[in-house]
Amino acid sequence: CAGADVSALDRGGVEVVAFVRTPTKLDDMLNPHLHLVQGDFSSLAPAHLNGCDVTIATHSSSKHERHVGYEHLVRSAVEAGVSRLIGVGGAGQLLMEDGQIKQTDPSWFPALSSVTEDHQRGLARVRGSTLHWTWVAPPYMPTDAASAGGYLATNDAWNNTGMLPQVDVAQFIVDETFEPKHLGHVVGLSARQPK
């Protein structure tokens, strides 16, 4: 629900509600088990989430206001009786060995500090809710790159990642939806290394 990756439909026996600004972008994915709702988080209501078990938020914001979307989503999800949320932030949120987030490392990208701060505000709202949650903190995600052959996941810790194709990040989200293994964690993702 609410931004779910439609590849979840490949698992069968599932209904997906995709809350999107431009439904026509999903015309090539139409499926009787995919229900499109047009809108943004300001128009999200608990009724949109009725019957959902998990909500997945992959939204963005050009004004660094993802946290506002999480505020609306958490409030609606709790009221609708949703039990679980999977949110997405960024690798700058992962913890280094000294306990500080990666964004504070001088070698990190200073231009991303406002993005990481926005992610941190969103995560704080999710953490403060009654929802069971998993927070994905992926690295740079090229949208057009082929799968790297899978992903490796670490709980809370920076894992020296550089890049992971978006398709592998989406696979993690779908896997976590069906078999939650990282509840209550900020998950770092990196490419699976060839054997």
Please give the average per-residue pLDDT across 33-62, as a whole number: 88
The yes-or-no verdict on residue 3 having pLDDT over 80 is no
In tens, the pLDDT along 140-173 reads 888 888 888 889 999 999 887 778 999 999 999 9
The SS3 assignment for 157 reads strand
Question: Looking at the predicted structure, is the pLDDT value of residue 184 above 90?
Answer: yes
The pLDDT value recorded for residue 107 is: 84
Per-residue pLDDT at 1: 41
More confident: 101 or 192: 101
Q: Say what the pLDDT of residue 193 is.
A: 66
**What's this model's pTM, rounded to 2 decimal places?**
0.88
For the chain, give the percent of residues with pLDDT over 90: 51
Residue 151, C-beta contacts closer than 8 angstroms, at least 6 positions apart: 164, 168, 169, 171, 172, 189, 190, 191, 192
Round to whole Å and give the CA distance between 177 and 28. 23
CA 147 – CA 144 distance, rounded (Å): 9
Mean pLDDT rounded to a whole number for the chain: 87
% pLDDT > 70, the chain: 94
